[in-house]
Amino acid sequence: MFGIGKRSSCARIDTVIGEQTRIEGDLHFTGGLHVDGTIKGNIIAESGAENVLTVSERGRIQGDVQVPNLVLNGSVEGDVTATERVELASHARVTGNVYYNLIEMAMGAEVNGSLVHRRSDRREAAVVEDQQSLEDAGMPAVK
């Protein structure tokens, strides 16, 4: 989103919530979800690293968000959990905690809560595997 020549994390959009649309209740999705409207409820992506939630400057979410990838330029009132990547653009506003693996934050983005780093399951497994390889080779692994 911010880097030149960088592969966009939102390659496709399967569902669009329009600016004049208001949804009340939890929303489960797969693929790409783009929000221009308002959602009062939790947003949960089914498992899969390719799932992406994009919230435009006009988009608003009142509830918790649990997704692998999030591109936010609107507002979220609730906790955000992104197992892979969070991109907070300049108009992003989060009132709640952000749990992330990788985060990119533009100047002007706002988080009114805690930023909590969490490794993804894949990264955690790779670290454990690397430590085991070192130990098998007779070298102590730093933990």
Domain interval for residue 78: 15-118
Please state the pTM of the whole predicted model.
0.78
Q: What is the largest CA-CA distance in the chain?
A: 63
| Contact residues for 59 (Cβ-Cβ < 8 A; gap 6+) | 17, 35, 36, 37, 38, 73, 74, 75
Q: What whole-number distance in Å separates Cα of residue 78 and Cα of residue 60?
A: 11
Tokens representing 129 are 């595997």
Strand pairing category for 32-35 and 75-77: unpaired
Query: pLDDT value at position 119?
Result: 85
**Is 77 inside a domain boundary?**
yes
* Number of domains forming the structure of the chain: 1
**Is 50 inside a domain boundary?**
yes
**Is 20 inside a domain boundary?**
yes
Contact 86, 100 (CB under 8 A): yes
**Is 125 inside a domain boundary?**
no
**Is 21 inside a domain boundary?**
yes
Reported as a single tens digit per residue, the pLDDT across 78-134 is 999 999 999 999 999 999 999 999 999 999 999 999 999 998 765 555 555 666 666
